[in-house]
Amino acid sequence: MEAKNCEANRYKRNSSEGMADSDVNDITLYQRFLSGDDSGLQRLMERYGNSLTLYLDGYLITARDQAHKRMLEALDRGEPLPFDLEGSAIYYVGPTPERPGAVIGSAGPTTSGRMDAMSPRLLDLGNKVMIGKGKRDAAVKEAVVRNGAVYLAALGGAGALMAKSVKTLEVIAWPDLGCEAVRRLTVEQMPLTVILDAHGGDLYLSGPEAYRASR
């Protein structure tokens, strides 16, 4: 997807070449990655990835439930938002406090359905990428197609892994919301999966169908 002015439109597709040595188990590879050896993640993605898996490089805005409510309240009052929605990538996350020397704390996704009632309006105003976990409703799916957007899934329950991709963090709006304040993140090689695409594809539907057809 090439979104106009999208800060997060630079990514690298996963390759099926160079499969990891079968003698190295998944836990060892994951621990290797957490210790700072990026080859651990690379091998895991080679082992389990597919054409719908990508590594994201660029800039993200973090916004969960309360930040979404603030955005819509400001828009209802006719006020400009403190950040630009045009071409934006929004990650549904409220990170935990970082440890000394760390950029960010645990940064796993929250359930995307909490934003379903608010997402179509933001998509119509320029949001191009949403990142979270779980299914989206029909209105969100229609808005994704209507606006040429995409919904990506982050790894639920793997907040430490997702945090490894975050290189810089800056609070840019509503610091009174604490962990739900809006942050601007610089990310590198963030592992994500395409769930909803601009052509109406839905991996949560097509994935199980493909599995059943293969049985």
3-state secondary structure the chain: CCCCCCCCCEEEECCCCCCCCCCCCHHHHHHHHHCCCCHHHHHHHHHHCCCCEEEEEEEEEECCHHHHHHHHHHHHCCCCCCCCCCCCEEECCCCCCCCCCCCCCCCCCCEHHHHCCCHHHHHHCCCCEEEEECCCCHHHHHHHHHHCCEEEECCCCCHHHHHCCEEEEEEEECHHHHHHCEEEEEEEEEEEEEEECCCCCEHHHHHHHHHHHHC
- Residue 29 pLDDT grade (very low, low, confident, very high; cuts 50, 70, 90): confident
- At residue 49 the predicted structure's pLDDT band, cuts being 50, 70 and 90, is low
Look at residue 18 in the predicted model and tell me its pLDDT.
41
pLDDT at position 16 over 50: no
- When mean pLDDT is compared across 91-95, 104-108, 202-206, the lowest value belongs to 202-206
pLDDT digits (tens, 9 = 90+) for 53-104: 888 999 999 999 999 999 999 999 999 999 999 999 999 999 999 999 999 9
Per-residue confidence at 168, pLDDT binned at 50, 70, 90?
very high
Largest CA distance in the chain: 60
Are 106 and 95 in contact by the 8 Å Cβ rule? The answer is yes
Q: Mean pLDDT across the stretch 26-55?
A: 68
Strand partners, 155: none
Q: What is the pLDDT of residue 33?
A: 63
- The single-letter code of the amino acid at 207 is G
Residue with tokens 């549904």: 92
Query: What pLDDT was estimated at residue 13?
Result: 37
How many Cα neighbours within 13 Å face the side chain of 203? Answer: 16
Residue-level pLDDT at 51? 56
pLDDT > 50? residue 5: no
> Predicted confidence band at 28 (pLDDT cuts at 50, 70, 90)?
confident
Mean pLDDT of the chain: 85
Name the percent of the chain lying above pLDDT 90: 65
Q: List the beta bridge partners of residue 133.
A: 111
The full set of domains in the chain, from first to last, is 10-214 (3.20.130.10)
Alpha-carbon gap, residue 205 to 6, rounded angstroms: 27
Q: CA 137 from chain center: how many Å? A: 17
pLDDT band at 115 (very low <50, low <70, confident <90, very high): very high
pLDDT in tens, 122-146: 999 999 999 999 999 999 999 999 9
